[in-house]
Amino acid sequence: MKFDNFTAWLDEAAGTIGAHSIACLRMDHPLLRERVGANNELVAEWLKAGTHGEMDYLERMFPDKSDPWKTFPFAKSVLVLTFTNQWGDPAATHPFPAPASGAPLGYVSAYAREQDYHATGQAMLAELKAMLGEGIQCEAAVDTKPVYERLFATTAGLGVVGANDLLRVPGRINTRVFIGCLFVDAELPEVIRAPKMPFRCDDCLACVKKCPTNAIEFGKPIAARRCISYLTIEKRSVLNRAEAEMIGDWIFGCDDCTNVCPPKDQIDTRIPIDLEWLLKTPAGEVRRLIKGNATAYAGVTQLRKNAVALLKKKSSSPDERELLQWVSKKTGSELIRDQLTAW
């Protein structure tokens, strides 16, 4: 492809594939190596302190994340894009049935609306690769490969990292975006954006104040073991009573820190889940329903474990107590049985 006015080409490409923004960073950019080195020190300390909880994959991926030049040895440039997947859009759809009247409820994060963001991002990067033309080696990464996505995005000028450790981007202002990276073996023209944010995070701190578990501290990595998203998605073992109290009414993710960025009149875009439906519907049926949805990453047993923990700490009505009794008799999951008797 010709590289005349590559900035305009990237802007047009973003519109074509449905991305919010795209930048291009050269892998030999001196600031990239400096920032990766500094970030490696922070991550190493974070891992050493055990703050990552049960996310053992972060330890396994750290050596590859810490040296992208070795992990992607062919790459001379990286195209970094941001996209929304309709996160926060009240019109976005989801696969879950409407709860029955009076049913016990749990909630799923708004980012689980539409299809799984990994699939959306991969499709966008595949389209971007095709637009680059034949004969170019590429490797796409959307959250599942060893890449410091936020670091690449900020170095490329797509936004700034908010107090909640998520990327804020101009145009949307908030932190409800995902990041994709396309590592390319061509020496593409560098296009580094200049994000103009209407306010600084340290002038706001709404996400810090809103976090119900004090998992967010400005200028520091998230205390994952206190984060509701970690507790409901990544912690695969039994929740103790304190952790069950921390998750509130959530069974997958949390919207508290993203919903207040920026401070505004709030729209409740959580997904309400009928817990009786979740616990009594055959697992295969639920699994088929959530296939292609972000909640499939957690899986049916994890969602049900969280539902049991939520019901156990409440069990304020006869119906809720009866539902727990039904689960105790019918479940074939050792994890759910352990959660039933945990406290």
- Three-state secondary-structure class, residue 177: coil
Please state the length of the chain. 343
User: Do 57 and 236 form a contact (C-beta atoms < 8 A)?
Assistant: no
Q: Tokens for 113?
A: 């609306």
Query: Alpha-carbon distance 239 to 29, whole Å?
Result: 44
Count of alpha carbons within 13 Å of 333, Cβ hemisphere only?
Answer: 22
Q: Which helix (H) or strand (E) holds 182?
A: strand 178-184
Q: Which helix (H) or strand (E) holds 105?
A: strand 105-108
Question: CB under 8 Å to 194, separation ≥6 — which residues?
Answer: 157
Query: Alpha-carbon distance 25 to 190, whole Å?
Result: 5
- Three-state secondary-structure class, residue 5: coil
Query: Alpha-carbon distance 187 to 294, whole Å?
Result: 35
Question: CB under 8 Å to 180, separation ≥6 — which residues?
Answer: 19, 80, 81, 82, 83, 121, 122, 124, 125, 140, 141, 142, 149
Query: Alpha-carbon distance 312 to 326, whole Å?
Result: 13
Sheet containing 271-274, strands listed edge to edge, beginning at the edge strand earlier in sequence: 250-252, 105-108, 271-274
From the candidates 67, 89, 143, 185, which is the catalytic residue?
Answer: 143
User: Do 250 and 109 form a contact (C-beta atoms < 8 A)?
Assistant: yes
Give the residue carrying structure tokens 């919207």: 255
Q: Tokens for 163?
A: 């107090």
The yes-or-no answer on residue 274 being catalytic is no
What residues are annotated to the active site? 143
